[in-house]
Amino acid sequence: MDKLIVEPSGPLSGEISISGSKNAALPILMACILPRGRIELTNVPHLADIRTSCKLLNILGCQTSFENGTVVVECGDLDPHAPYELVKTMRASVLCLGPLIAALGEAKVALPGGCAIGARPVDMHLKGLERMGATFELTEGYIYGSCDKLRGAHIVLDFPTVGGTEHLMTAAALAEGETILENAAREPEVADLANFLNACGAKISGHGTSVITIQGVPSLTGCEYKVMPDRIEAGTYMMAAPLTGGEIFLRDCPFHELESVVNKLREMGVGVEETPEGVMVRAAKELLAVDVDTQPYPGFPTDMQAQITTLMCLAKGVGTVEENIFENRFMHVMELNRMGANIKIKGSTAIVRGVDKLAGAPVMASDLRASASLVLAGMVASGSTEVQRIYHLDRGYERLEEKLGAVGARIRRVKG
Ligand code: UD1
């Protein structure tokens, strides 16, 4: 298994270009099952999860190619079986279930795996599809779903689940009649998927709000579509400047989609300035502790929780980080404490007391964003930090060591 060796870097300085969004590209790729004709997606990040999605599409009967950030998909005769070997590494692959039922009337999809952050069931996905007429059987780790023809329905989600909203919206695109999704997720990636489906001929409105309306259409066609930039990658690099006392310009940074993160950074004393080409981030004179609580969009993203915790480790005072989306999402805390941080967990809240310095150590995390927070910590810790199990990082950050290396970080990959 590869690992990263992170050495203290001093203030970072320079420019980083933000890649296309992983969390937008994945549901868009799963939605590619529906249209007939050639689909060309640009600004797709080179990540393990994208390659896994292409492999899954191939197994399901689609032809794919992935070069220079462009994925081309053309579906032939579909096969309804998504095998465990592919689905187990990536939770988003469950999003092929609804589209397969919509296209073929049946599907057999393994129950998903992915990052080890809590139980992460898919009950809301299944309940919503049932409201549209699908029936399910769960046996031997597989979901068997069927329905002659999905019908539009009025669905009120118990919680604004991101994947659930994306899944139901995609399936409803080809259902008979109108579907209304209430308490829908408002995340920008949901809106990006809706824009893609509309470019294929779907009739979706209200995306970006908590009520999404989908008028089913008989068929979808191919299109060319550019995936939105990755707000979580951008947010992660935003933390790197103040952490190291440096200045970084983030090209193609989606500023407005990061408002809650920008607000917290400004409260900490960090300079964040929007320009037409991107965002300039400047270190604080003195980094101040803040209170953060994760919420569905437009609240503070759970996917930025670990990274801001690292920043707060070196801030002045005591701050709190409350996790409200996932249980068991504090795996980075034990590791940060091993590096000299002073963090206590009370229920779903981490209480972070600022310390003067961190010290390098061998660390690992079984979650993508937790791993990123440890790389950030390593850049300011004294001595070497060895971040193990970086296949999680490779699932979500395109060329991380190269991008951070270009602004002065000292990060080396050791092949294992
Ligand atoms: C997506 C993102 C992930 C992000 C998360 C929350 C992708 C590929 N992943 O994950 O990076 O951290 O949104 O912003 O886009 N839940 C249920 N039942 C369900 C569905 C969800 O109980 O049927 C629970 C989950 O266990 C979790 C919460 O709802 O506690 C939020 O999950 P959800 O919004 O669905 O996240 P994902 O789509 O899995």
In a mutational test of the pocket of ligand 1, which residue from 325, 392, 395 has the highest number of ligand atoms less than 8 Å from its CB? 325
Report yes or no: 4 and 412 within 8 Å, Cβ to Cβ: yes
Q: What is the pLDDT of residue 387?
A: 95
Q: Measured from the CA of 326, which atom of ligand 1 is nearest?
A: 30
**Cα Rg of the chain, angstroms:** 21
Query: What is the reported pTM?
Result: 0.96
| Residues 132, 385: Cα–Cα separation, whole Å | 51
Residue owning the nearest CA to atom 15 of ligand 1: 23
Q: Measured from the CA of 232, which atom of ligand 1 is nearest?
A: 11
Closest CA to 193 of 170, 160, 210, 174: 170
Contacts of 294 (CB under 8 A, 6+ apart): 300, 301, 302, 305, 321, 322, 323, 324, 325
Looking at residue 263, the DSSP 8-state letter turns out to be H
Dist. CA 156 → ligand 1 center (Å): 16
Q: What is the pLDDT of residue 115?
A: 47
Dist. CA 144 → ligand 1 center (Å): 21
Closest CA to 165 of 208, 117, 115: 208
Residue owning the nearest CA to atom 38 of ligand 1: 163
Residue owning the nearest CA to atom 5 of ligand 1: 162
In angstroms, what CA-CA distances link 275 with 27, 234, 281, 389?
30, 15, 11, 36
CB atoms within 10 A of CB 14: 13
Confidence check: pLDDT of 366 > 80: no
Confidence check: pLDDT of 89 > 90: no
Dist. CA 342 → ligand 1 center (Å): 29
Q: What is the pLDDT of residue 116?
A: 52
| Residues 112, 389: Cα–Cα separation, whole Å | 20
Q: What is the mean pLDDT of residues 164-177?
A: 97
Closest CA to 220 of 44, 63, 72, 102: 102
Dist. CA 60 → ligand 1 center (Å): 24
Pairing of strands 342-346, 349-353: antiparallel
Write down the mean pLDDT value for the chain: 95
Which conformational region is residue 66 in: left (phi greater than 0), alpha (psi within -120 to 50 degrees), or beta?
A: beta
Q: Dihedral of CA 160/163/166/170: which sign?
A: negative
- State residue 273 phi and psi, 5-degree precision: -130, 130
Dist. CA 161 → ligand 1 center (Å): 5
Which conformational region is residue 402 in: left (phi greater than 0), alpha (psi within -120 to 50 degrees), or beta?
A: alpha
Q: Measured from the CA of 22, which atom of ligand 1 is nearest?
A: 8
| Residues 332, 287: Cα–Cα separation, whole Å | 21
Give the pLDDT band of residue 80 (cuts 50, 70, 90). very high
Q: What is the pLDDT of residue 113?
A: 60
Q: What is the mean pLDDT of residues 135-149?
A: 92
Confidence check: pLDDT of 408 > 70: yes
Tokens of 236: 């992660």
Pocket, ligand 1, Cβ cutoff 6 A: 23, 26, 91-92, 118-125, 159, 161-164, 189, 301-303, 325-326
Q: Dihedral of CA 94/178/174/104: which sign?
A: positive
Range scoring the smallest mean pLDDT among 329-333, 357-361, 364-368? 364-368
Q: What is the mean pLDDT of residues 318-339?
A: 95
196 alpha carbon, distance to own chain's centre: 17
Q: Measured from the CA of 166, which atom of ligand 1 is nearest?
A: 38
Dist. CA 120 → ligand 1 center (Å): 7
Range scoring the smallest mean pLDDT among 34-43, 202-211, 349-358, 360-369? 360-369
Closest CA to 254 of 4, 21, 63: 21
Tokens of 10: 């001093």
Location of structure tokens 């690099």: 237
Q: What is the pLDDT of residue 119?
A: 58
| Residues 176, 308: Cα–Cα separation, whole Å | 45
CB atoms within 10 A of CB 258: 24
Q: What is the mean pLDDT of residues 255-266?
A: 98
Burial 161-174 (b: 16+ CB within 10 A, else e): bbbbbbbbbbbbbb
- State the catalytic residue, choosing from 32, 96, 115, 147: 115
Looking at residue 227, the DSSP 8-state letter turns out to be P
Confidence check: pLDDT of 411 > 90: yes
Q: What is the mean pLDDT of residues 231-255?
A: 97
Residue owning the nearest CA to atom 20 of ligand 1: 122
Confidence check: pLDDT of 337 > 50: yes
Q: What is the mean pLDDT of residues 289-318?
A: 98
| Residues 116, 118: Cα–Cα separation, whole Å | 6
Q: Measured from the CA of 23, which atom of ligand 1 is nearest?
A: 15
Confidence check: pLDDT of 118 > 90: no
3-state secondary structure 307-358: HHHHHHHCCECEEEEECCCCCCCCHHHHHHHHCCCEEEEECCEEEEECCCCC
Q: What is the mean pLDDT of residues 352-366?
A: 94
In a mutational test of the pocket of ligand 1, which residue from 159, 187, 260, 331 has the highest number of ligand atoms less than 8 Å from its CB? 159
| Residues 330, 125: Cα–Cα separation, whole Å | 26
| Residues 342, 334: Cα–Cα separation, whole Å | 10
Tokens of 165: 């909203």
Range scoring the smallest mean pLDDT among 138-142, 198-202, 208-212? 138-142
Is 115 catalytic? The answer is yes
In angstroms, what CA-CA distances link 143 with 11, 25, 80, 90, 136?
50, 24, 11, 16, 7
Q: What is the pLDDT of residue 312?
A: 98
Q: What is the pLDDT of residues 11-60, one digit of tens each?
A: 999 999 999 999 999 999 999 999 999 999 999 999 999 999 999 999 99
Confidence check: pLDDT of 117 > 60: no
* Structural domains of the chain sorted by starting position, each given as residue range(s) with its CATH number in brackets: 3-14+230-414 (3.65.10.10), 24-226 (3.65.10.10)
Confidence check: pLDDT of 155 > 70: yes
Q: Measured from the CA of 187, which atom of ligand 1 is nearest?
A: 14
In angstroms, what CA-CA distances link 251 with 42, 229, 230, 284?
17, 10, 11, 21
Q: What is the pLDDT of residue 91?
A: 82
- Coil, strand, or helix at residue 380? helix
Dist. CA 162 → ligand 1 center (Å): 6
Residue owning the nearest CA to atom 31 of ligand 1: 161
Location of structure tokens 């034990």: 334
